[in-house]
Each structure stands twice: as structure tokens, then as C-alpha cells.
Copies of this chain bind each other. A is one copy, B any other.
Amino acid sequence: MSIGSRHWAIGEGYIPASGNEQGDPRFESHETACLLNVNDVDAHVTIMLYFSDREPVGPYRVTVPARRTLHLRFNDLADPAPVPRETDYASVFCSDIAIVVQHTRLDSRQPALALLSTIAFAERSPG
């Protein structure tokens, strides 16, 4: 069986500045969208980024292969434009098949890291 929704939103978005990672990418401040595709076919996902003071940027395009998870760092998005640091944004994910999206941030600006996570908002109405 499938699980999830085709349309997801994350209201919070903010990539903190560099911090205490000391060259270890595991501890670099980052924001991640964890995408899960339990289907037997690939999921083709488009991502739009929304800002407070400019037009949306996108679509970014990623593929989540069949039966795979993709932990996508917003830090790594590059095409059509990198995600500005220390800037408020939000994101919307649209997939051609049902997926699950979870949002996580690791903030390492101060001496001990901080974490947050939430399942994203799933649009459940038809469309």
C-alpha cells in the first residue's frame, strides 16, 4: 500500500550560520526535508521556496527512487539558486505520487547543538 500525500508544506525555514562544527559536516547547522517514497515507482518532486520579501524561487526538482528515503539538505539546493543563509523562508513540496515529508533542523551556532523536527503539513483535500 501507499502512504502519505502528494502536497506538503513546511512553514518554518531558516539555515543558521556556521557554528561549532569544526569541519565536521555532521555538525554543520542545516535544515533537512526527509522524504519517504514507499511506492514501487520513483516519485518526482518539485519544491518551491517562499520568502518574506521577494517572489518565490523554484521549482527545484528531486527524485525519490522507489522504496527509498531522501534526506534532502536545503543547504545543498543549487538550481535554480542556492538557499540564502540566515533568511526566513518556507517550502512547498508537490509529488506525482504519495510521499511523506518530515522537517528537521540542527543548529550548532552555540556550544551544544539544538534540534527540532515535525511532520510537515499534508494537504489531504483532493487536488
A-side interface residues toward B, CB under 8 Å? 1, 3-4, 7, 9-14, 20, 26-27, 32, 34-36, 38, 48, 50-53, 55-56, 67-71, 86, 88-90, 92, 100-105, 107-124, 127
Tell me the complex Cα distance, A55–B118, Å.
25
The residue that A50 contacts in the complex, of B36, B111, B119, with Cβ under 8 A, is B36
Please give the distance in Å from A11's CB to the nearest CB on chain B. 3
A69 x B11 contact (CB < 8 A)? yes
Instruction: Report copies per complex.
Output: 4
Tell me the complex Cα distance, A119–B70, Å.
20
B118 x A115 contact (CB < 8 A)? no
Question: Which chain B residues lie closer than 8 Å to A32 at the CB level?
Answer: 12
